Amino acid sequence: MKTQPFKGRVVLITGASGGIGRAAAKRYAEAGADVVLAARRLPRVEDAAREVASLGVRALPVRCDVTVGEDVERLMRETEAAFGGLDVLVNNAGQGLYGPLEAISEAQLRQVFELNVFGLWRVTRAAMPLLRRRPGAQVVNVSSVLGHRGLPLLGGYCASKAAVNAMTESLRAELAAEGIRVLLVSPGLTESEFRENRLHAEGWRQEAIPLKAMSAEDVATAMVRASLRGRRDTVLTLPGRVMVLANRLVPGLFDRIARRMAAPPKKKDA
């Protein structure tokens, strides 16, 4: 990015130790922003922060598990001490869950909701005082194309991201009068460690998906562009856009396609 439209701004990204979050940290830094990088694996967050700092901005690595209230409070205290306020919060930390709703365990479903939904809510709530100090502040919530349409074998994850979409809409309205914008970015299939980090119902593994994945860097570029333009809704990858649109226009047809994706239940590997 040649110009630096985010110069002097502070961006906090959760899940910045890898994948989309780390790529987003670099893209915001290239656009001039100082960046707070948060995730659980501190050595990886520190490594990402070094790379971000090499771009000539300030980078603050913080070890933070967004499912733990004290970690989130400390994250905000460290952000305040270093920068005094926050211009953009990117709620990116998230995890997948694979398997039919009947086969996933209650513990797995709770774990995914604890991170994808409660984590996002917890971080956003704690960040509000810092966001309120900066005019034109933003919250960028990372959802998924699967938050717009439930698919078989992905129901737990889809439900968590649908909750993110609903919270985003509610928060957007709640904060509009204060001039704080709330954006939704919904990636499609993206190259990252997401599939390795995903939870699986016992005995269930997904075969390779015959779709071209987007790079995490391209997702990050689209995110920073949306952030710059204050674009409320960004759906990524061509198949992702087609799915979201087709589901809106011809939901019955999409139900039939989804049924074919579910049957026969032959993906068991154990």
User: Which residues are catalytic, by number?
Assistant: 157, 161
- Applying CB under 6 A, what is the total number of residues that bind ligand NAP? 30
Q: For residue 251, what are the contacts with CB-CB under 8 A and spacing of at least 6?
A: none
Q: Does 212 bind ligand NAP (CB under 6 A)?
A: no
Q: Does 141 bind ligand NAP (CB under 6 A)?
A: no
Q: Does 76 bind ligand NAP (CB under 6 A)?
A: no
Q: Is 16 exposed, middle or buried (0-12, 13-18, 19+ CB in 10 A)?
A: buried
Q: Does 99 bind ligand NAP (CB under 6 A)?
A: no
78-114 burial, b at 16+ Cβ within 10 Å, e below that, comes to bbeeebebbbbbbbbbbbbbbbbbebbeeebbebbbb
Single residue of 144, 168, 227, 234 touching ligand NAP by CB under 6 A: 144
Residue written as tokens 């409320």? 232
Interatomic CA distance for residues 207 and 201, integer angstroms: 14
Interatomic CA distance for residues 71 and 107, integer angstroms: 22
Interatomic CA distance for residues 199 and 222, integer angstroms: 27
Task: Tell me, residue by residue from 101 to 120, as one string, x for binding to ligand NAP by CB under 6 A and - for no binding.
Answer: --------------x-----
Between residues 71 and 132, which has the closer beta carbon with respect to ligand NAP?
71
Between residues 138 and 190, which has the closer beta carbon with respect to ligand NAP?
190
Single residue of 108, 124, 168, 190 touching ligand NAP by CB under 6 A: 190
Give the footprint of ligand NAP on this chain (CB under 6 A): 14-15, 17-21, 39-41, 44, 64-67, 92-95, 115, 142, 144, 187, 189-190, 192-194, 197, 216
